Amino acid sequence: MSFTVGFDLDMTLIDPRQGMIEVFAVLADEFGIPLDGPGFANRLGPPLSHELARYDLDENLVQAIIARYRAIYPGIAIPRTVPMPGAIAALESVSARGGRAVVVTAKYGPTACKHLETLGVQVAAVVGDLWSTGKAVALQEYGAEVYVGDHLGDITGARAADALAVAVATGPISAADLAAAGADVVLEDLTRFPEWLDSYLLATVH
């Protein structure tokens, strides 16, 4: 049986919030800007550029902050990141059933790869710097028939790719709001994903 499942990264597979708050504190000090790290951590999902748009900064400054963020992030945030409940087992359940997992995320691609390497998990592909409907490009390229994420933008991306939208209520959006936004399936977290995957595969002809 051949199938592909796409996964979002932040707050779906990993919880990087503590490290991101610390990264923002360093950036605030270096650039002299009152960046709201806790607020950023509570809004995880959209690209960093969307967060920085809140501050009405010059575009050159935005790009400088993004470059510095990417430079210091691995040393600060990755060691403080933990897997979400059931994340590793969820990824392993895909390969164990003959499928392949791909990660499609708004996070910078090389950073996303380092996160997965640190967790000790392997996926078929990692595609970064994509958000909302932009994720559909990668999902369609890899033939993902399911996309798992925690944000409204993940549901939009799944819809645009004609993939089943599986939402986990582990990010900034409640289970009720994920369902109201059109998620096909809403799970409290990934711990029950292998069980759900079994039921999905039984009901689907490949």
Structure token pair of residue 82:
């933990």
CA 147 vs. chain centroid, Å, equals 11
The Cα-based distances of 193 to 80, 108, 114 in angstroms read 25, 26, 24
| Residues linked to residue 5 through DSSP beta bridges, in sequence order | 101, 146
Pick from 153, 154, 152, 157: which is nearest to 140 by CA?
Answer: 157
Q: Which residues of 97-119 are buried (b: 16+ CB within 10 A; e: fewer)?
A: eebbbbbbbbbbeebbebbbeeb
Which residue reads 């960046």 in tokens? 35
Name every residue whose Cβ is closer than 8 Å to that of residue 45 and which is 6 or more positions away in sequence.
10, 11, 106, 150, 151, 152, 153, 154, 171, 172
**Mean residue pLDDT across the chain:** 96
pLDDT in tens, 144-187: 999 999 999 999 999 999 999 999 999 999 999 999 999 999 99
Q: Is there a common fold for 4-15+82-203 and 17-80?
A: no
pLDDT in tens, 25-40: 999 999 999 999 999 9
Pick from 127, 173, 129, 174: which is nearest to 147 by CA?
Answer: 127
The Cα-based distances of 37 to 40, 127, 161 in angstroms read 5, 25, 32
Pick from 122, 65, 55: which is nearest to 88 by CA?
Answer: 122
Domain ranges for the chain? 4-15+82-203, 17-80
Per-residue pLDDT tens, the chain, 206 aa: give them: 689 999 999 999 999 999 999 999 999 999 999 999 999 999 999 999 999 999 999 999 999 999 999 999 999 999 999 999 999 999 999 999 999 999 999 999 999 999 999 999 999 999 999 999 999 999 999 999 999 999 999 999 999 999 999 999 999 999 999 999 999 999 999 999 999 999 999 998 65
Looking at domain 4-15+82-203, which of 3.40.50.1000, 3.40.50.740, 2.160.10.10, 2.60.40.10 is its CATH number?
A: 3.40.50.1000
> Using CA of residue 14, residue 164, residue 137, residue 53, what is the dihedral sign?
negative
CATH 2.60.40 fits 17-80, yes or no: no
